[in-house]
Chain A
Amino acid sequence: MDLIVTLGVNGLATGMLIFLLAAGLTLIFGLMSVLNFAHGGLFIWGAYAGVWIYTATNSFILAIILAILTGLVLGLVTERLIIRPVYGNHIQQILITLGFMLVLQELIKVVFGPDQKAVDPPAWLASSFQIGDVILIKYRLFIIIVGLLLFFTIFFLLKKTRIGLIVRAGVMNREMVQTLGINIRFVFMAVFMVGAALAALSGVLHAPYSGVIYAEMGLEFSILAFIVVVIGGMGSFTGSLFAALLVGLAQAFMAYYVPALSLAVNMLIMTIVLIFRPQGLFKVKG
C-alpha cells in the first residue's frame, strides 16, 4: 500500500508539472487556434531564469517570481513578433514556432552556458515526513498543492468572472466578441502571456524536482504536454488536468513495474484515445 501511495504522489507531482505546461498550451489553442511549438522554450527559460536568481539569492520564492515574469515578457514578445503574423495558418505556425523553440533553446546555451545545472530543492521543502509506513517528500507535495491551487484559481476565473466569460466567448465566436466592444487582440495577448507564464512556472518548479536542468529538456517536456492536450481535448482546460494526471500516474507506475514501457505508455494512451475518441476525452465546442 505504501508503495502505491509513494508512486501515486510521484505520478501526481509529475502530472501537475505537465498540467502547468499543457494548461497554457490548451488555452492558447482553444482561444487563438494557435499551435505553439515554442511553448517548451518558455518552459526552459522559466527554469533557467528561476535557477539563476535562486542560485544568486538562495530564495526559491524569488525564483518563482522571476520565472513568471520571464514567462510574461517572453509571452508578449512571442505573441507580438512570432505568432501575430501567422494567425489563422497552422502550417506556418508549426514551422515558425518550432524554429523559435530552437532559437530559445540555443539562446539558453549562449546566456547560461551549455552545461547541465544541478538544482536542489529549497531547505524548507527538502525534507520528507512519514505517515504510517509511507514516506512523503515535501517538494512533491508542494508541486501538487501549487498545481491544484492554480487549477482552481484559473477554473474560477474562467467560470465565474466576466474576464473568464470573455475568454470562453472568444473561443466560441471571436468576431462577435469584438462587436460587443471587447478588444479581442488584447485578450489574446493576455491569454498568451498567462499561458507562457504557466509554462515558465512549470519550468522552475521542475528544476528541483528533477535535480538538473538542460537546454534540451524543453522540447522533451513539451512533447508530453502536446500528448496531454490531445488526450484531454484541444482547448479543454479541465481535460488538460485530467489527462496530465493520467499521464503522470501511468508514467510513474510503469517506470516501477515495467520500466521498458514507461515512455511508451503515454503514446499508447494517446493512440487509444485517438482511435476511440479523436476529439479527446473532454470536447470543447468551438
Chain B
Amino acid sequence: MNNLLKVSKVKANIQQFHILHDINFEVPIGEVTVLLGRNGAGKTTTLRTIMGLNPVHNGSILFKDEEIANLKPHLIANKGIGYVPEDQGIFEDLTVGENLRVAMKREDQETTERLDWILDLFPDLKKFWKKPGGQLSGGQKQMLAIARAYVNENDLLLIDEPSKGLAPIVVEKVMETILQMKEKTTILLVEQNFHMASKIGDRFYIIDDGQTVHNGLMEDLRQDKVLMKKYLGVS
C-alpha cells in the first residue's frame, strides 16, 4: 500500500447543487499532496466530503484500502484522519488548553510527547494556554487548529487553506511548521497561496469546476507557466 488515500470518481452535492463532478486523486504515504484551483473550484468541498461532512453521491474514497465514503465524520476521524477546516473551527469560549484537551483521545505518554513537540513549534500556544480561543489572533488560531489536529496520532492530516487571512510573516511560520510536520505524517493540503503550496507540496492535483483536471509533481508545475496561468491565474 503506497497510497494512504485514494479518491475515485467522486461526485457530491450540496443540497440541490452539484459541486463535485469527477474527483480523482491519490495521496502517497509520507508526502504532501496539494489540491490547487481557483475559488469555488471544489477544493474545500473535496476535503469536507472526505471527512464525511458532505455526502458522497457516487464514487469511492479508500483510506488505508478501506472504504470510508459516507461514513459518519467521527468514525472517519477515528480511523486516523485529522482535519483543520478553512475557518479553523476554534471553540471560542474554551481556553487554548481546553481546545487541545477536547481533541485528545488519550492522555498518555505518547500524546503528551506529541503535545510537547507541537507546543515547542508554537510557543504562543503555551504562552496563552489559559486564554479563550476566541481572543487569539488569526495566526494563533491557525496554530491552535493545526496543533489540535496533530495532537492525536493521525496517519493523515487534511489542512484547508492554512494561509488564509494571515500576515505574510505568520504564513512563513505556518509553512515552516507544516514542513516539520511533513517529517512525521502524511498531509493533504488545500492552498491558494502558490508560493506556500509549491514550497511544501510534493505533488499536486488541480481541481476545476468540480473535476480533477491535471496532476503531477510540484517541481514540474513550477516550470509549467501555461498550466499555472490557465488554472491558477499565476503568471
Which residues of A are interface residues toward B (Cβ below 8 A)?
A: 162, 165-166, 168-169, 172-173, 175-184, 285
Contact call B74/A183, Cβ cutoff below 8 A: yes
B72 & A178 in contact (Cβ 8 Å cutoff)? yes
Whole-angstrom distance between the alpha carbons of A55 and B31 in the complex? 70
Taking CB atoms and an 8 Å cut-off, the chain B residues in 16-74 that contact chain A are 51-53, 72-74
Of B53, B74, B99, the contact of A182 (CB 8 Å cutoff): B74
Report the minimum CB–CB distance from A120 to chain B (whole Å). 45
With A and B bound together, what is the CA distance between A169 and B99 in angstroms?
Answer: 8
- A169 B83 Cβ-Cβ under 8 A: no
Q: Hey, what's the 0/1 contact readout for B93-135 against A, CB within 8 Å counting as 1?
A: 1100011011111000000000000000000000000000010
Given contacts A181-B152, A183-B72, contact A162 B92 (CB under 8 A): no
Given contacts A165-B101, A178-B72, 4 further A-B contacts (CB under 8 A): A162-B101, A165-B102, A172-B94, A181-B105
Q: A175-B53, A179-B53, A181-B152 are in contact. Are A169 and B102 (CB under 8 A)?
A: yes
In this assembly, does B91 line the interface, its C-beta being within 8 Å of a C-beta of chain A?
yes
Q: Complex: how many Å from CA A38 to CA B140? A: 43
Contacts of A181 in B (CB 8 A): 74, 77-78, 105, 152
Name A173's contact: one of B78, B83, B89, B104 (CB within 8 Å).
B89
Given contacts A162-B102, A165-B101, A166-B102, contact A180 B77 (CB under 8 A): yes
B85 in contact (CB, < 8 A): yes
Q: How far is the CA of A166 from the CA of B91 in the complex (A)?
A: 10
Grouping DSSP codes into helix (H, G, I), strand (E, B) and loop, the A interface class, with mixed when no group exceeds half, is helix
Chain A residue nearest to B133 in the complex (CB):
A172
Chain A residue contacts of B53, Cβ below 8 A: 175, 178-179
Chain B residues lying within 8 Å of A180, measured Cβ to Cβ, are 74, 77, 102-103, 148
Sample of 18 A–B contacts (CB below 8 Å):
A165-B94, A165-B102, A166-B102, A168-B91, A173-B89, A175-B73, A175-B89, A176-B85, A176-B89, A178-B74, A178-B77, A179-B51, A179-B74, A179-B77, A179-B83, A180-B74, A181-B78, A181-B152
Shortest CB-to-CB span from B136 to chain A, Å, is 14
List the A side residues contacting B101 at CB < 8 Å. 162, 165
Q: How many A-B residue pairs have CB under 8 A?
A: 60
Query: Contacts A178-B72, A179-B89, A181-B105 known; A165 to B77 CB distance under 8 Å?
Result: no
| Contact in complex: B73, A178 (CB < 8 Å) | yes
Residue with the greatest number of chain A CB neighbours at <10 A, chosen from B51, B53, B78, B93 = B93
Contacts of A179 in B (CB 8 A): 51, 53, 73-74, 77, 83, 85, 89
Give Cα distance in the complex from A178 to B101, angstroms. 15
Q: Is the CB of A285 within 8 A of B93?
A: yes
**Chain A residues within an 8 Å CB radius of B102:** 162, 165-166, 169, 177, 180, 182
CA distance A181 to B148 in the complex (A): 12
Bound Cα distance from A166 to B103, whole angstroms: 9
